[in-house]
Structure formats: C-alpha cells, structure tokens
Structure 1
Amino acid sequence: MSPGPLGVRTSRGGRDRPGPLSPLSKDPGFLTRVDDTYFLYTDGAARGNPGPGAVGAVLYRGRPRPENLVAELSQAIGHTTSNVAEYRAVVDGLKMAADHRPAKLALRSDSQLLVRQLLGQYRVRSPLLRPLHREVVRLLERIPEVKIQHVPREENRRADQLANLALDS
C-alpha cells in the first residue's frame, strides 16, 4: 500500500483506504489569508434516490460574498444516486475552478460522506463512487494548496439552490 494524494492510500486491489490527513488540510493559517483563496461550494441532488439528478457549484475569490462571485454551475445529470450527484458536483465544480487557475482552494460541501472519503477518514466502498473519487483526487492534485471542509447545509444554500434549479428545469 502506498500513500496517495489527500492522505488516501490505495491497495493493489484498488480499494481506497483511509490514511493520514494531508498537511494542507491541517494548515491553521490557510483560511486567515483569504484574499487569494478560492472557495468552491458544491451540492448534488437526486430526487427519489436514485432518480433524476443535478449538480450545483458556486466559486468565489476571497470571502464567500456576492461581490466576490466568480462563477456558478447548475446542471441536470440524468438518473443517479445522491452520492454520485455529490461527487459529480465536485468534479464539475473543480473543472469550472480550473479555468481560473487557483493557487489556493477551499472545497466546501454539506456531504459528510464525500468530505470524509476525500480526507481519507472513510473508505470508498461503492463501485459507483470509486472512479469519481479518483477523478476528484486527480483534479485536486493540480491545485497547490487545498482545504476540504464539511459545512452545514445553511452555508451551502446557493449550491443547493442551483442543483434544485436544474432539477426543476
């Protein structure tokens, strides 16, 4: 077993296992210097679970305020599960953020499962989530400094609205 990015270890069998946290995710000064930090909020939704799914993502440069909004994403993704939708929201949000070449990114999600899997605290057991997890890790590797955070649903309201807007369209 070899250590991978974001503290995730991958065995030869391909099963993602938890490992130690990345030093970047424990940097106490990371969010005190926010002017050059991008904040990416993501949310995925599936009505019926599984059912029609959609993703929402919001990108800010600097403190997450309306005047610092950089980009938004609202997109239907077809029939899926809520966990797949959460991962797809992160993948699509990171691709959107890549256009702005962030040196520092705070990824925020209200999905405890997703956050804990990305931090290596939970195993990625679902065969549906494993390739999405690998893609998220690959996209995060391109960003020099990353902090992954779980936020309450209230703090993720705009991404949630965007996902639901796509579902209602």
Structure 2
Amino acid sequence: MRGVPRHRHLVGHADPAQGRRARAVRELRPHPRRQLTKFLRLRTDGASRGNPGPAAAGIVIEDEEGMKLKAMHRWLGVMTNNEAEYHALIDGLKAVESWKPDTLEVCLDSKLIVEQVNGGYRVKEERLKTLNARAKELLASFPDVKVKHVAREQNKRADYLANQALDEHGKG
C-alpha cells in the first residue's frame, strides 16, 4: 500500500521513527540466554569524603566503541575509599553478569585495587580481604576478563556518578 510504512506491522507503531526508537531500546536490554555483545567495558569508581566517610559507587558499562550502555550510582554508607572502590567493582560485575560478554575489560583508577585483584599486591586489611575474595569470585565467572588501571581522566563518567550519589545523599 502506498503511504503506509512497510515495517509498521512489525513493530506496532504508525510512526516509523517511533518504531525504530522502540526497537532500539529493546535491543539494548540483555537477554538472559544470549549475549548482547561479545565485548564489554566496565568502568567503576568508589568515592569517600573522608577516610572513612560518606561513600558511594559509580558504574558505567560501555561497548567496544565506548558507547554507554548502562550507567548507575549507589550510596554505600560510611566506609573507606578502598572499601568503596571494591563495592563499586563488585556492583559493576554483578550488573554486567547477565549480559554474558565473551570479553570483559574492567577499568579502575585505583592502582591498589587493580593490583590486589590481579595478585600483584597482598591484601593486608581484614575488611578488604572479604571484598577482594568476592570480586575475584565474580571475575572468575567471565570467560575472558582483564582488570586494568586507567588514568583518572579515563574514568570521568564513573567518578561523576559516584560523586552524584554523594551529593544526592547529602541533600536528603
């Protein structure tokens, strides 16, 4: 029929642009039995105002080209910066689990946490030993994972989200 979008019956929208947007949103959701993408990048940051002090986590999940697929933040309570970094990492790994990527690149700006998770540094603090074990357990569930240290400038989105959670909690 002339004047009727050919794909209207496929997506249930009279407006083709609206149908494309709806389809695009559906395609970004992870399906529990199949992977969305073969490669994902996870950026996490923990922030603490005081050591210990009010703390929060920021998490960003990106595709290979750096396109943001998901971003979130969470108030953590009162803890040290290193504890906040571990909680951000653990929350991020849990968030990315259902996407089932073949390859996962994890980027943190905390050299200490990266080295502890990769086995380069010993975990001395008792409070961090449990968090380190949980992070390693989650990391082991991915077929190919690399945890790497990045400059703070490369982790701006996650840092912004962690600070946003701190600011929002401070207003409440």
TM superposition score category, shorter chain reference: 0.7 to 0.9
Q: By how many angstroms is 1:69 displaced? A: 1.5
Amino acid corresponding to residue 156 of structure 1 in structure 2? N
Amino acid corresponding to residue 36 of structure 1 in structure 2? K
1:39/1:61 contact within 8 Å kept = yes
Give 1:11's aligned residue: none
Q: By how many angstroms is 1:36 displaced? A: 2.7
Q: Which one scores higher on RCO, CA 8 angstroms, separation ≥ 6?
A: 1
Q: By how many angstroms is 1:138 displaced? A: 0.6
Task: Give the count of matched residue pairs.
Answer: 132
Q: Give 1 or 2: higher strand fraction.
A: 1
Q: Give 1 or 2: higher helix fraction.
A: 2
Q: By how many angstroms is 1:63 displaced? A: 2.0
Q: By how many angstroms is 1:37 displaced? A: 1.3
Give 2:59's aligned residue: 57
Q: Any gaps of 5 or more consecutive residues in structure 1?
A: 1-34
Q: 2:43 aligns with which of 36, 41, 44?
A: 41
Give 1:84's aligned residue: 83
Q: By how many angstroms is 1:161 displaced? A: 0.1
Q: Which runs of 4+ in 1 moved over 2 A?
A: none
Q: How does 1:1-169 map to 2 (within 5 A)?
A: 36-64=38-66, 68-169=67-168
TM-score (norm: length of structure 1): 0.76
Partners of 1:63 and 1:151 lie apart in 2 by: 17
Q: Any gaps of 5 or more consecutive residues in structure 2?
A: 1-36
1:43/1:55 contact within 8 Å kept = yes
1:39/1:63 contact within 8 Å kept = no
Partners of 1:85 and 1:63 lie apart in 2 by: 27
Partners of 2:48 and 2:136 lie apart in 1 by: 23
Q: Which has the larger radius of gyration?
A: 2
Amino acid corresponding to residue 136 of structure 1 in structure 2? A
Partners of 2:84 and 2:92 lie apart in 1 by: 12
Q: By how many angstroms is 1:166 displaced? A: 0.1
Identity of aligned residues (%): 43
The two structures, once aligned, show a CA RMSD in angstroms of 1.0
Over residues 104-157 of structure 1, what are the superposed CA-to-partner deviations in whole Å (9 max), with x where a residue is unaligned? 100000000000111111001110100000000110111000011100000000
Secondary structure of 1:129's partner?
helix
Q: By how many angstroms is 1:50 displaced? A: 0.5
TM-score (norm: length of structure 2): 0.75
Amino acid corresponding to residue 48 of structure 2 in structure 1? A
